[in-house]
Amino acid sequence: MRNFYPKELERLLVGKIISWQEDWPIKVISDDIDDEPIENSLFFLFEEYDNEEELCSWLKKGGVRGVVVRKNSNLNVDKWKRAGIGIIEVDSINNAYVLIAKEYRKQFRVPFVQVIGSSGKTTTKEMIGSVLNAKYPSLVGYNNFNAPAGVAYNLLSMRDKFKAAVLEVGMKGPEIMRYSTSLIKPDIVVLTCIHRSHLVELGSIENIIKAKAEVLDYLKQEGTLIINGDDENCRRFPLDKFRGQVLRFGFSKDYDIWAEDIECSNFITTFKAVGNNFIVPCTINTFGRYNVANALAAVLVGIQLGLSSDQIERGIQNFKTLSGRLKVYKGIQNTILVDDNFNANPDSTCLFIREVPNISMNRPVVLVMGDMERPDENIEEYARKVHYKIGEELASIEFQHLIAVGKWAKHYIDGAKNKGVNPLKMSYYTSVEEASKNIEEYIIRDALVLFKASSYTPVKKLREILEEK
C-alpha cells in the first residue's frame, strides 16, 4: 500500500492543516475508538470526546500520526503538537471520509465484487467471501455496512494481503447506488432480487429497479453482472447499455447455473450446482430456496475468479449464518428457535413462510411475527395491505399458534382469519414488552418457534426469553 503525505491529504480531504510538525507518511485510515489505534494512521474523530487529554495520550501511544476533525472543533492544538499528532480540519468529516476512501481504493488491483438487492445481500456476500477465502485471503465487508459511509469503512479496511474484496451496497433512494458504486468500481456485481422493500420511499417497482440499475454506471464494461433469473423484477433490469458479461442463476436449465437434487435436513441443505460444463456438490448451513439461489450466485463468482470445484465446494460448506439471519438456537422445553429477525420485508417474509413445511420436521410450529414496515401513519393503507396479504399467506401452512407483535401486525390475524384460520390460534400484542409477559404461555414442548420481523419490531428480545439458559 502506498503512503499519503500531509499536503496530499489536505488536498484530498478539502481541508486545512492546522498542525503537522514533520512530513510524516500515512499508510492507514482508521476511525474506530473501540479498536486499538494503528501505527502511522490518520484517525477520523467523528465526535468530540469529554477527556481530550486521555484521547490524545491513547492515540499517541498507538502511533497515530494525525487526526481529522470538524472545523472549529475546539481541540487544544498545543496539546496535540506536544504529543506529535497532526491536525487537519475539514468542513464535513463525513465527506472527507468518503473522499479518502475513494482515493485509497485506487491502489488495489484485485477483483472487487459488489452485492446488491432487496434482500439476501449480507448472506450472499458472506457466501461469496467464504468461497473466495478457500483459495486466497479476501476482504469481506463488515456485517451489513452498506450505506456510503459503510462502504467507505470497508474500503479503508483493505490491505495488501487481500487478493479480492466482497462488499454489499444498499440504497434507500435515487443516487445512493451510483455514489457507492463509484467508490468501489466493481469487476463483478451480483443482484440477488428486487422486492418491495423501498416501495414507500420510491413509490413504485419501476423506480426501485431504476435506482438499483445505477450500479451499471460504474460496473466495468468488461465486467460481469450475475443476476437472479427467477426473479421477475430482475428480468426487467435495463441491460441495453451494458456491454459486459451477464450470467443468470436460478432453478431452470435455461440459466448459466441451476440447482438440482435439493434436500434439507436439520437446517442443512445439500444440492448440486450445475452448469453447461460443471457440477459442484454444495452443502450450506442454512435452508430455503432463496439461500440455495444465493449460493448459486456465490458459486458463479468462484468460477469467474478461477476457483476449482473442490475449492468452491469447501468454501460453500464453510459458510456460517450471521446473527438474525436464520440463526438456530436451543430453546426451553426442547424447542428449536429460528431467528430471522434482521430487516425483513413483505416479499422475503412470504418466501420464508413457504419454507416452513420443509423445515418443521413434524414439530408443532409457533410463529412470532413483528411488523414489516415502519410505524408511520402516512403509510397506513400500504402497511395494512401488505400485512393482511402476509396473513393470508400464513393460512397456507399448519401452525400451532401465531403471536403477532407491533403496530401493523394485527393485520396478519385479519388476513389469516379471512382464509379460515381459527382466531383462537392467534394472539396480538402492540409491543415486544407487552408480548414478553405472556410469550412462554404459547410454547409447547418440542415446538419449532420461528421469529420473523423487521428492525422496527425487535422480537429478538422474545427469542432471548425462550433460549435455553
Q: Residue 121's pLDDT band (boundaries 50, 70, 90)?
A: very high
Q: What is the pLDDT of residues 14-29, one digit of tens each?
A: 999 999 877 888 999 9
91: which strand partners?
none
Q: Which residues contact 12 (CB under 8 A, 6 or more apart)?
A: 4, 99, 100, 103
Q: Enter the C-alpha cell of residue 199.
A: 416501495
Q: Report, as an integer, the average pLDDT of 177-199.
A: 94
| Domain 108-317, CATH homologous superfamily name and number | Mur-like, catalytic domain (3.40.1190.10)
Q: Using alpha carbons, list the distances in angstroms from residue 352 to 130, 413, 433.
A: 24, 17, 25
pLDDT at 299: 98
pLDDT at 103: 95
Q: What is the pLDDT of residues 56-94, one digit of tens each?
A: 999 999 899 999 999 988 888 999 999 999 999 999 999
Would you say 371 and 453 are in contact if contact means Cβ atoms under 8 Å apart? yes
Q: Cα separation of 231 and 124, whole Å?
A: 16
pLDDT at 196: 82
pLDDT at 74: 83
CATH of 6-92, one of 3.40.1390, 3.90.1750, 2.60.40, 3.30.70: 3.40.1390
Which DSSP state fits 156? Answer: T
Q: Cα separation of 393 and 377, whole Å?
A: 24
Q: What is the pLDDT of residues 417-459, one digit of tens each?
A: 999 999 999 999 999 999 999 999 999 999 999 999 988 898 9
Q: Cα separation of 333 and 331, whole Å?
A: 7
Percent of the chain with pLDDT over 70: 100
**What is the 3-state composition of the chain as percent helix, strand, coil, each rounded to the nearest 5?**
35, 25, 40
Domain boundaries, the chain: 6-92, 108-317, 327-466
Question: Is 327-466 a CATH 3.30.720.120 domain?
Answer: no
pLDDT at 171: 92
Q: Residue 325's pLDDT band (boundaries 50, 70, 90)?
A: confident
Q: Using alpha carbons, list the distances in angstroms from residue 76 to 6, 7, 57, 80, 395.
A: 20, 22, 13, 7, 65
Of the candidates 190, 142, 132, the residue with the CA atom closest to the CA atom of residue 307: 132
Q: How does strand 336-340 pair with strand 327-330?
A: antiparallel
- Please, what is the average pLDDT of the chain? 94
Q: Cα separation of 59 and 37, whole Å?
A: 6
Edge-to-edge strands of the sheet including 224-228?
A: 138-140, 164-168, 112-116, 188-191, 224-228, 245-250, 257-265, 268-275, 278-284
Q: Residue 109's pLDDT band (boundaries 50, 70, 90)?
A: very high
Q: Report, as an integer, the average pLDDT of 129-157.
A: 96
Q: Cα separation of 299 and 312, whole Å?
A: 6
Q: What is the pLDDT of residues 260-303, one digit of tens each?
A: 999 999 999 999 999 999 999 999 999 999 999 999 999 999 99
Q: Where does residue 342 rank: exposed (0-12), middle (13-18), buried (19+ CB within 10 A)?
A: buried
CA angle 350, 354, 357 (to 5 degrees): 150
